[in-house]
A and B are shown apart, each in its own frame.
Chain A
Amino acid sequence: DAGITQSPRHKVTETGTPVTLRCHQTENHRYMYWYRQDPGHGLRLIHYSYGVKDTDKGEVSDGYSVSRSKTEDFLLTLESATSSQTSVYFCAISEGLQGSYEQYFGPGTRLTVT
């Protein structure tokens, strides 16, 4: 998985609790992304980062926040988890060279909110 790890790989949490997912890369790529994947919806972009402390929203950012204090780590926080946030979350990285954003994906985190 191209030097990308996600932790935890599985998590069960209760509605209303905060949850943080971590993505760690060893490739020194500038761009990092968080997606969620649900049946019938494909992958949807939550947030992405284009450098340390530089982030932008994706198409489904409500209820999520992100932080990137180091090149190698990109954190996704569910401020108050809801059952609708039960999903599989994927992190991806990209060098973004010459206007091309070829992405490499992590193994995913399966989150269940009860």
Chain B
Amino acid sequence: SQQGEEDPQALSIQEGENATMNCSYKTSINNLQWYRQNSGRGLVHLILIRSNEREKHSGRLRVTLDTSKKSSSLLITASRAADTASYFCAPDTGRRALTFGSGTRLQVQP
């Protein structure tokens, strides 16, 4: 399967804390992407990390990639109530389509 598997399935934290989500995959990739989905909405692309990169930052987001372990992590620092959403990883193998797992549901308590 080309899809990523997110862990944990659900995460509840307090506002201001950091949230870490993990992704594992099984195939060789060109890049790995993270998406966010707010309730009832379409997915929104957050960040892309290429296979030759180990770490990437975007605002409060930090993504790491370990191709030897076929894993990635998404860290959201200083979380806000507005970060409450589901987060999905998508390994991009260059085969035209992405597949998505069931995601991590993040709840940030105000």
List which B7-36 residues lie within 8 A (CB) of chain A.
30-31, 33, 35
Contacts of A8 in B (CB 8 A): none
Question: Number of residues in B with C-beta < 8 Å to the partner?
Answer: 24
Residues 55-71 of chain B: 1 if any A CB is under 8 Å from the residue's CB, otherwise 0?
A: 00000000000000000
* Contact between chains at B97 and A101 (CB < 8 Å): yes
Inter-chain CA distance A14–B21, complex, in Å, is: 40
Instruction: Known A42-B103, A45-B99, A90-B42; judge A101-B48 contact (CB<8 A).
Output: no
How many inter-chain contacts with C-beta < 8 Å in the A-B complex?
Answer: 68
**Residue A74 at the chain B interface, CB threshold 8 Å:** no
Tier of interface size on chain A? 20 to 34
Closest to A43 in B: B100
Report chain B residues within 8 Å CB of A35: 100
Q: What chain B residues lie within 8 Å of A106 (beta carbons)? A: 42
**Contact A1 B42, beta carbon cutoff 8 Å:** yes
Given A42-B88, A43-B88: A101 and B45 within 8 A (CB)? no
A40, A48, A59, A101: the one contacting B92 at CB < 8 Å is A101
A102 to B50 Cα, complex, angstroms = 12
Task: Assess whether A107 is in contact with B41, with CB atoms less than 8 Å apart.
Answer: yes
Enumerate chain B residues within 8 angstroms of A31, measured Cβ to Cβ.
96-97
Q: Quick check: is A3 within 8 A (CB to CB) of the other chain?
A: no
Instruction: Report the Cα distance A101→B101, complex, angstroms.
Output: 16
Q: Does B40 contact A (CB under 8 A)?
A: yes
Interface on A for B, CB 8 Å cutoff? 1, 4, 31, 33, 35, 40-45, 48, 50, 56, 58-59, 90, 92, 96, 99-108
- Give 13 A-B contacts (CB < 8 Å), ordered by A residue: A31-B96, A35-B100, A40-B102, A42-B103, A43-B43, A43-B100, A44-B100, A56-B96, A90-B42, A99-B94, A101-B98, A103-B90, A106-B42
> Using a CB–CB distance below 8 Å, which chain B residues touch chain A?
3, 30-31, 33, 35, 40-45, 48, 88, 90, 92, 94, 96-103
* 6 closest cross-chain pairs (CB), A and B: A105-B42, A42-B102, A99-B94, A43-B100, A105-B43, A99-B30
